[in-house]
Chains A and B, each alone.
With several copies, the nearest count.
Chain A
């Protein structure tokens, strides 16, 4: 099959839209921290994207999509993009490469939230490069690059395990290693720039259409299905979280937008396999589940600061399972539990569990090593004045 202009147009634009999610993550998280750390949060998203951009075109792509080695990792045949050309099947190979690049970039940006307001910039850069190489790249290979999970038949349409379970449980591990922010639980650490968070959330919602629909890799009915279920799931998540928060107090806008993100996360692996009515349930349940996880996390006194674990980790896990429950052969060719396919459900459970354990354990070890060598955390005084000044020499008020 030759290059199709429609499909190529589609994936080029989707690539740009997914790229916009990375600063979107930065703004989303930046609004949630105290003003003294807002530049740091946004800057880390840009830095994540920049370093992954270089890592991916040199080594990352080939580790993920090079010829399979034991189901675990890709070979080095595409080192420095060797053999990745402007020809391809429907879309150029090079376009597939860059579409995958933007996924890797945004995943690392999500990871930053667990260490908000206390990580040393230099250590973050080193950690980030290593993390994307030894956590993200294998996971991408497993699911999409010919690795064991894909071979087994695990379904992950747009990255429930690869992007969300990895970053969510990774952030949890990081938060455990780096420790709570100074004064956590004693001082107020309320979101200080909610409008920034809402703007970031809007950018995420927008970009997510490309994230999921683009994962069809063609402008076809499957892409349209992904588009529709993505939107419906986000809306349902926003609504359930909002009402749950309302029942316990006030319907905060942070709850609303967090619920939308929860819905978006949960539908990600499922978006090529389920229909709109299932999506209402998947998203609506994600809103409740992730809100519950957040409350649990707070009760435990754990400073996984901006809830990547609760939203991306737990939401991603639910999404992987939900794919095994609600998948229908009429859309993606595979049936799930409710259509009698217990097998698929078990595969999903296995895949999600392995991804969760791998991401958590490897991230934990990596963080400990960096902590012992470079030191993961800024000094108390640097944390006190904020990372904007201490790491970047900048401040939002002149």
Chain B
């Protein structure tokens, strides 16, 4: 099992959700975050001097999925969240050891 964590533009959430749904990926957890990338945030020209606005609101999507789903999901997110401009976000993939349901005793242990 892997966790795919995507940090995207908040206004792209609906598109990403729809694109994922289409391919059968429903389960996800979403968090409101703020962030800045390697571009060091956005620079606003302000009366000559530059004002750096870092910490732009972003939306983080976390999906725990089977190893084989990682690639397709990365592609779907890329396609649906991309604008081609700085600030589109990043996708991180983590290893997961155990996935356990609370409602019942279902469990998947990686390995």
Contact = CB atoms under 8 A, between A and B. Distances in A.
Contact of A183 (B11, B45, B46): B11
A385 interface: yes
A188 B14 contact: yes
Contacts of A93: none
Interface in B21-72: 32, 42-46, 51, 53, 56-57
Given A36-B57, A389-B53, A390-B53, A382 B11 contact: no
Interface residues of A, number: 17
A384 interface: yes
Nearest to A386: B57
Contacts of B57: 35-36
Given A36-B57, A385-B56, A389-B53, A188 B13 contact: yes
A380 to B, nearest CB: 9
Nearest to B55: A395
Contact of B11 (A35, A187, A390): A187
A381 interface: yes
Given A36-B57, A389-B53, A390-B53, A382 B44 contact: yes
A382 B53 CA distance: 10
A382 B56 CA distance: 12
Interface in A20-47: 35-36
A381 B44 contact: yes
A389 B87 CA distance: 17
Contacts of A187: 11-12, 14-15
Contacts of A35: 57
18 contacts: A35-B57, A36-B57, A183-B11, A187-B12, A187-B14, A188-B13, A188-B14, A379-B45, A381-B43, A384-B42, A384-B87, A385-B42, A385-B44, A385-B56, A389-B53, A390-B44, A390-B53, A393-B51
A298 B92 CA distance: 38
Contacts of B56: 384-385
A60 to B, nearest CB: 30
A389 B44 CA distance: 10
A40 B32 CA distance: 22
B11 A381 contact: no
Interface in A342-375: none
A189 to B, nearest CB: 8
